[in-house]
């Protein structure tokens, strides 16, 4: 009887150990190469690999964009910000996303044509990505993670959410869709970061 009980306990212990091992193995491992928001490589709208570390030392405004959204006119003030502050170290990065109301259905060529023809966009644009869920781009998993971004964490709510990244690659502010890029809050945050050397 005792021998049978010991065998059951041993079997249960082994099963629990194996289950725990599987559980820990399933947890995503932290990438030692990811130090900040500029540690990622993304694909440009033209299909080229872009190492975001090339923007280190600049102030970066990352925005998930769409061509058929009520907020699409924000392309205008985003381009104005880029034109005004580019020489002082600001870069605006546009990341097309079709996750919200399927409002970015176009191909890369169609997105480029739309942005250029309608808003004269000259800031860097990237290939279409997901910003939420299992298939979200690693950059956006980083931007929205409670672990890496406790102050501004959470799922992206809609198109044209704006993440402001300081010269050191750290996330310093996040602005939801309704906040116009030309608003005092956004401009003051950008100017504050640009003033830091």
* Catalytic (active-site) positions: 69
Closest CA to 60 of 32, 34, 95: 95
Judging by beta carbons within 10 Å of its beta carbon (0-12, 13-18, 19+), is residue 131 exposed, middle or buried?
buried
How far apart (Å, rounded) are the C-alpha atoms in residues 167 and 27?
31
Do residues 186 and 180 touch, judged by C-beta distance below 8 A?
Answer: yes
Both structure tokens of 145 = 């993670």
Q: Do residues 143 and 61 make contact, with C-beta atoms less than 8 angstroms apart?
A: no
- Residue 38 CA, chain-centre distance (Å), reads 10
- The terminus-to-terminus CA distance of the chain in angstroms comes to 75
Closest CA to 97 of 51, 41, 148, 45: 45
Distance CA 119, CA 12 (A): 65
What is the C-alpha separation between 127 and 110, in angstroms, rounded? 12
């Amino acid at each position: 009887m005792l021998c049978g009980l010991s065998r059951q306990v041993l079997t249960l212990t082994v099963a629990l150990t194996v289950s725990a091992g599987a559980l820990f193995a399933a947890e995503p491992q932290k990438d030692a190469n990811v130090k900040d928001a500029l540690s990622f490589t993304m694909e440009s709208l033209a299909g080229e690999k872009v190492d975001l570390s090339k923007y280190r030392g600049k102030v970066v405004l990352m925005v998930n964009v769409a061509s058929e959204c009520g907020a699409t006119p924000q392309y205008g003030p985003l381009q104005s910000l880029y034109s005004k502050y580019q020489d002082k170290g600001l870069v605006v990065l546009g990341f097309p996303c079709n996750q919200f109301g399927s409002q970015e259905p176009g191909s890369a060529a169609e997105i480029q044509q739309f942005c250029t023809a309608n808003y004269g966009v000259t800031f860097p644009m990237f290939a279409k990505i997901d910003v939420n869920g299992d298939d979200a781009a690693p950059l956006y998993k980083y931007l929205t993670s409670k672990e890496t971004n406790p102050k501004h964490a959470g799922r992206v709510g809609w198109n044209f959410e704006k993440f402001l990244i300081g010269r050191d690659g750290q996330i310093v502010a996040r602005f939801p869709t309704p906040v116009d890029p030309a608003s005092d809050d956004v401009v003051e945050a950008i100017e504050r970061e640009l003033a830091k050397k």
